[in-house]
Every structure is written in C-alpha cells, then in structure tokens.
C-alpha cells in the first residue's frame, strides 16, 4: 500500500528531491503493476491527471494538485512504472490516464 497521491506530491516541493521522488513514484507503480498482474489484472485506471483547484471537490486527493507541470511529471513516472519497458511482459499493465480536463472544475 502506498500513500495518497496528494501526499506523494509533497515530495516534489523541493527541487533537489524532484528526481528522487520521480524514481520513487515509478518504483511504486512498478510494484503495484507486478502485484496486480499476478492476479490477472492487465489495465489500471491511473493516473488521474486532471488539475483540481477547488479543495471542496471530494476526489481532489487523487490528483497531483494545482500545478500542471508537476502533474505531468508525476503522470510520466506512474505510466512508465505501470507499463515498464515491454508492455507485452507478464508483469506489466496498461495505464489509462484519466480525467484530462474539467472534471475537477465542476
């Protein structure tokens, strides 16, 4: 089990931690992929990349916060972790990037 996405984002607040954090997110996604594929899962509805600027939206913790640049860096790490280098391998799964726009604006 890994912490909520919004908590993972806090690691990106310091520039010198950004590269390390991206590696950790990729590793977390890699572990999740390996565990899920043992049960036959081949597709995940993650990451959520919508930019939510209203904390009252109940699902804002799924995303990376208000910064589109930060969100895109995190999404790259997740997708690369889930899909690995060879998507045809038994321990990789497809990532379905969800909620591109306006979901958090509602």
Selected residue with higher pLDDT from 51 and 77: 77
According to DSSP, the residues that pair with 48 across neighbouring strands are 98
Selected residue with higher pLDDT from 9 and 36: 36
Q: Does residue 21 carry a pLDDT above 70?
A: yes
Contact criterion met (CB below 8 Å) for 71 and 53: no
Please write the tens of the pLDDT for every residue from 42-55: 999 989 888 877 77
C-alpha 34 chain-centroid distance: 15
Dihedral pair phi/psi, residue 28, rounded to 5°: -60, -45
Q: Does residue 13 carry a pLDDT above 60?
A: no
Q: Model-level pTM?
A: 0.78
Q: Does residue 3 carry a pLDDT above 70?
A: no
């Amino acid at each position: 089990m890994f912490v909520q996405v919004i908590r993972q984002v806090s690691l990106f607040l310091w520039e010198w931690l950004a590269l390390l954090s991206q590696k950790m997110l990729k590793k977390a996604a890699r572990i999740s992929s390996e565990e899920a594929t043992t049960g036959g899962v081949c597709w995940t509805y993650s990451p959520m990349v919508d930019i939510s600027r209203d904390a009252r939206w109940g699902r804002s913790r799924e995303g990376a916060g208000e910064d589109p640049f930060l969100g895109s860096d995190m999404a790259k790490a997740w997708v690369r972790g889930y899909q690995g280098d060879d998507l045809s391998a038994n321990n990789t799964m497809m990532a379905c990037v969800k909620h591109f726009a306006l979901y958090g604006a509602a």
